[in-house]
Amino acid sequence: MSKVLPMLDPFDEIKKLYFSTTRDTIERDLARALDLLTRMPSDADRDSVAGYMHGLADLRREWKGPTPKARGRKKAPKAAPGGPTESSGAAAPKGTRRS
């Protein structure tokens, strides 16, 4: 059974989760942080923890790979090898200047 923390301010608890999360606990910590975020009463409160939420999401992505939803997205096709390059005299993309 998990250890129950004493009631903390949601901001303080999300901050604590951010600084104490590990590879093994990131899924649980992110789920808890999301639960706390949805219970915050105002947009101003949610805005105040946005940085920690982004940080937790970045840690999850770094440690666990892309989410299942992101894995299904198609990437833009790569340019064919031997295609035009700036050094071969090809036109610069719109809005850029060549020197």
pLDDT (tens digit per residue) in 43-99: 999 999 999 999 999 999 999 877 666 666 666 666 666 655 545 455 555 555 544
Residue 97 lies in a domain: no
- Would residue 91 count as lying in a domain? no
Write out the two tokens for 39.
Answer: 């219970």
Is residue 35 one of the residues assigned to a domain? yes
Q: How many separate domains does the chain show?
A: 1
* 74 inside domain: no
> Is 90 part of a structural domain of the chain?
no
Instruction: Report if residue 37 sits inside a domain.
Output: yes
Domain that holds residue 56: 10-63
Read off the pLDDT of residues 27-49 as tens digits, 9 standing for 90 and up: 999 999 999 999 999 999 999 99
Residue 72 covered by a domain:
no
Read off the pTM: 0.60
Q: Determine, yes or no, domain membership for 16.
A: yes
Token pair belonging to 2: 């998990």
Q: What is the DSSP letter of 2?
A: P
Whether residue 18 contacts residue 56, with contact meaning beta carbons closer than 8 Å, is answered with yes
